[in-house]
């Protein structure tokens, strides 16, 4: 008798793959799924349950279900993928310098001159002296400096 | 970055200038801003001089071991004094616009000259 296709192994594996790629491609866009990757962990969990279910039946009922070898491989690959993801998202992203000597609240912000996206030099003093484009005021009430990693 | 663009009107009504800084070249940033529709100011610190002055250098943090800025946000008032800082401990967790707006609204009115 031809053994049955063990769909739960593949569904589980697909969910894990989806969990791996969806963080960078989709969930990173929303602070609520970016700050903590709970959506991806949920996908991993669902994938692991399905993989486990598929593996159990391939070993317990090998005469009925396929997937003893392939299922083990898919499970191992999934585990490695989840491990890699966790290493990146719970360890690597936290390897930041302490910035202990950064300017503190109450201090004057060190002035600077840097070119803007059009190559025009801009100083912090100028930024403070001019309002945001399209607003009426004589000068800015404040400047928000956002330092970001770049390499866009 | 996208979230600050989305809330830019709230920063404009408070006359707060939003300024982003990285080691990227102006040309790269300009194209990227056009593509994504970012209209606030982006500054280019290619030698990481200002990033170093603010002690925000992440040595080897970029692709191929390039030196880049660690994520950080500073709210500076009209007198040039720093009033609020956010130094995240994770690359994925950044300041949200509403946090900054609240920090600004919580400042003593004295700091908001011309408001």
Over residues A111-146, the pLDDT tens digits come to: 999 999 999 999 999 999 988 876 667 788 999 999
Is B63 touching A (CB cutoff 8 A)?
Answer: yes
Residue B14 tokens, joined: 């408070």
pTM across the whole model: 0.86
Alpha-carbon span B96 to A64, nearest angstrom? 53
Q: Which of B58, B70, B99, B106 to mutate to test the interface with A (most CBs of A within 10 A)?
A: B70
| Residue A13: Cβ within 10 Å count | 22
Dihedral angle over CA of B26, B46, B6, A127, nearest 10? -90
The whole-angstrom distance between residue B1's C-alpha and the CA centroid of its chain comes to: 8
Q: Are A144 and B95 in contact (CB under 8 A)?
A: no
- pLDDT one-digit tens code per residue, B28-44: 999 999 999 999 999 99
Regions of chain B where pLDDT drops below 50: 114-115
How close is the nearest chain A Cα to the Cα of B31, in Å?
9
ipTM (interface predicted TM): 0.93
- Which among B6, B27, B115, B15 is positioned nearest to A117, based on CA atoms? B27
Q: For position B115, what pLDDT does the model report?
A: 43
Asked if A91 is an interface residue toward chain B (Cβ–Cβ < 8 A), one would say no
- DSSP-derived secondary structure letter, A64: T
Cβ–Cβ of B90/A148 closer than 8 Å?
A: no
What 3-state class would DSSP assign to B49?
helix
Q: Which of B19, B30, B94 lies closest to A127 in CB terms? A: B19
Q: Kind and range of the H or E element at B52?
A: helix B49-53
Per-residue model confidence (pLDDT) at position A1: 62
Average pLDDT rounded to a whole number, residues A77-90:
97
Q: Is A2 on the interface with B (CB under 8 A)?
A: no
Q: Which of B54, B71, B99 to mutate to test the interface with A (most CBs of A within 10 A)?
A: B54
DSSP sequence for A16-61: HHHHHHHHHHTGGGSHHHHSS-HHHHHHHHHHHHHHHHHHHHHHH-
What are the phi and psi torsion angles at B92 (to 5°)? -80, -15
Per-residue pLDDT tens for A21-50? 999 999 998 989 999 999 999 999 999 999
Domains of chain B: 2-105 (3.40.30.10)
Asked if A39 and A22 count as a contact pair (C-beta separation under 8 A), the reply is: yes
Is the backbone of residue A99 left (phi > 0), alpha (psi -120 to 50) or beta?
Answer: left
pLDDT for the residue numbered A144: 97
Q: Please name the residue of chain A whose CA is at the shortest distance from the CA of residue B2.
A: A29
CB B8 within 8 A of CB B102: no
Gap from A42 CA to chain B (nearest CA, Å): 18
Q: Are B83 and A142 an interchain contact pair (Cβ–Cβ within 8 Å)?
A: yes
A149 to B83: CB separation less than 8 angstroms, yes or no: no
Nearest chain B residue to A151 by CA distance is B24
Q: Residues near A62 by Cβ (< 8 Å), separated by ≥ 6?
A: A3, A68
């Amino acid at each position: 008798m031809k053994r049955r296709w063990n769909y739960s192994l593949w569904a589980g594996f697909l969910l894990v793959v989806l969990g791996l790629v969806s963080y960078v491609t989709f969930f990173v866009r929303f602070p609520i799924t970016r700050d903590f990757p709970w959506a991806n962990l949920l996908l991993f969990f669902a994938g692991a349950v399905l993989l486990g279910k598929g593996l159990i039946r391939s070993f317990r009922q090998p005469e009925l279900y396929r997937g003893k070898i392939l299922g083990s491989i898919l499970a191992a690959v999934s585990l490695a993928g989840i491990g890699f993801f966790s290493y990146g998202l719970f360890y690597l992203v936290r390897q930041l310098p302490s910035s202990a000597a950064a300017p503190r609240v109450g201090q004057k912000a060190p002035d600077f001159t840097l070119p803007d996206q059009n190559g025009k030099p801009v100083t912090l003093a100028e930024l403070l002296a001019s309002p945001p484009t399209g607003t009426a005021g004589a000068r800015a009430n404040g400047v928000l400096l956002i330092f970001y990693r770049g390499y866009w | 970055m996208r979230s600050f663009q989305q809330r830019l009107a709230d920063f404009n009504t408070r006359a707060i200038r939003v300024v982003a800084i990285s080691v990227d070249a102006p040309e790269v940033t300009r194209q990227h801003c056009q593509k994504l529709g970012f209209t606030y100011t982006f500054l280019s610190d290619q030698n990481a001089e200002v990033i170093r002055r603010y002690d925000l250098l992440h040595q080897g943090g970029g692709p191929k071991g390039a030196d880049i800025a660690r994520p950080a946000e500073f709210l500076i008032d009209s007198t040039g004094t720093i009033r609020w800082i956010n130094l995240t401990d994770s690359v994925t967790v950044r300041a949200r616009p509403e946090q900054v707006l609240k920090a600004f609204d919580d400042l003593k009115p004295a700091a908001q000259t011309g408001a």
